[in-house]
Amino acid sequence: MTKTLEGKVALVTGGARGIGAGIALRLAQDGADVALTYRQSAEQAATVVKEIQSLGRRALAVQADSADPAAIQGAVDRTAIVLGRLDILVNNAAVFLVGAVDELGADEVEQTIAVNVRGSYVAARAAARHLGEGGRIISIGSNVGERAVFPGLALYSMSKTALAGLTRGLARELGPRGITVNLVNPGPTDTDSNPADGPNAATIAGFTALGRYARPADIAATVAHLAAPEAGYVTGAVVNVDGGFTS
C-alpha cells in the first residue's frame, strides 16, 4: 500500500488521548513521522509514541500547555528541529467547559479562549514559519460550533466557531504559498471524556442521522485525507464529520 504521507512530519496538539491520539496514529499509518503535545498525560503520550514507533515511524512527545504561547511555540520549533521539518499541523488540543452563562466566569472564559482559540492561532503562526509548498494546517472544531442543542454550550460553542474564521483567514493568507488550511468538525465521538455508553449517550446519539457515536478513527480518516497530496485543492473548508448531526 502506498504511504501517502511518506517523508512528511506532522505535529498533533493534544495527541495523547481521544481524537488526537487517533489522528496521530492514522498519520503514522499513512507514513508520517509524528510529534504530539500533552499537558499532563505523560503515560498516555508515551503509549502513543510507542504505537507510532511500532509502525516504523519516528515519534516525539512534547509536554506543552496550549494555554501557554511560549510552550506552543517551543513545541512547534522542537518538532521541526528534532524531526527535521514540519509539513502538517493538527490543532486538536482543547478544553471543554460547559455551564450556564451566569455560572462560567472570567477564569473559565480565559482558559477556554487561551486553549481553544489563542493556542490554535499561536500554533498556526509558529507552524507557518516552517511549512513549505504542500503544507497543511488542520484544526479540530466541533459540531456544536454550528448547532448547540443543549443549554450550557455558549462558551465552548463560541470558541469552536472562532476556528472557522481562523481557518478561512489563514487559507487566504497562506494559499499563495501552497499551504492549505481546513477545519474538521467532529460530532459525538466515543472517547474517555465522552463515552458512547455514557449516561446521556443515547440522547446525544439520537441527534445524529446515523444514530450512533463516531470512533476516533472516523475523524482521523478525514484529517488524513486533508493532509494528503490528493486534497491539495481543498482549503478554507469546514468539513462536518458528525453523522448528520448538523444536517
Compute the average pLDDT of residues 148-176.
96
Q: How many CB atoms lie within 10 A of CB 175?
A: 13
Q: Is residue 144 part of a domain?
A: yes
Compute the average pLDDT of residues 191-213.
93
Q: Is residue 1 part of a domain?
A: no
Calculate the alpha carbon distances from 28 to 84, 110, 209, 241 in Å: 16, 34, 31, 21
Please give the share of the chain, as a percent, with pLDDT higher than 90. Answer: 95
**Separation of alpha carbons 237 and 126, rounded Å:** 21
Compute the average pLDDT of residues 28-44.
97
- pLDDT for 193 equals 85
**Separation of alpha carbons 24 and 22, rounded Å:** 6
Would you state the cell numbers that stand for residue 20, as one nine-digit string?
488526537
State the catalytic residues: 156
Q: In what order do the strands lie in the sheet with 180-186?
A: 59-63, 33-38, 9-12, 88-91, 136-140, 180-186, 238-241
Q: Is residue 110 part of a domain?
A: yes
> 119-128 vs 154-174: helix axis angle to the nearest 10?
20
Would you state the cell numbers that stand for residue 87, as one nine-digit string?
509539513
For residue 129, what are the domain limits? Answer: 9-240
Q: Is residue 2 part of a domain?
A: no
**Separation of alpha carbons 145 and 246, rounded Å:** 10
Residue 155 zone, left/alpha/beta (φ > 0; ψ -120 to 50; rest): alpha
Question: How remote is the C-alpha of 205 from its chain's centroid?
Answer: 22
Calculate the alpha carbon distances from 81 to 74, 115, 130, 183 in Å: 10, 24, 10, 26
Q: For the chain, how many structural domains are there in total? A: 1
Q: Is residue 198 part of a domain?
A: yes
Query: Is the Cβ–Cβ distance between 216 and 21 less than 8 Å?
Result: yes
- The reported pTM is 0.97
Compute the average pLDDT of residues 29-52.
97
Q: Is residue 25 part of a domain?
A: yes
In the Cβ-directed half-sphere of 202, how many Cα atoms lie within 13 Å? 1
Least confident of 1-5, 143-147, 199-203, 230-234: 1-5
Q: Is residue 37 part of a domain?
A: yes
Q: Return the amino acid letter for 155.
A: L
Residue 72 sits in a domain of what CATH number? 3.40.50.720
pLDDT greater than 70 at residue 1: no
Compute the average pLDDT of residues 118-127.
98
Strand partners, 50: none
- DSSP class per residue in 29-73: HTT-EEEEEESS-HHHHHHHHHHHHHTT--EEEEE--TT-HHHHH
Would you state the cell numbers that stand for residue 153, as one nine-digit string?
454550550
Query: Is the Cβ–Cβ distance between 113 and 131 less than 8 Å?
Result: no
Q: Is residue 4 part of a domain?
A: no
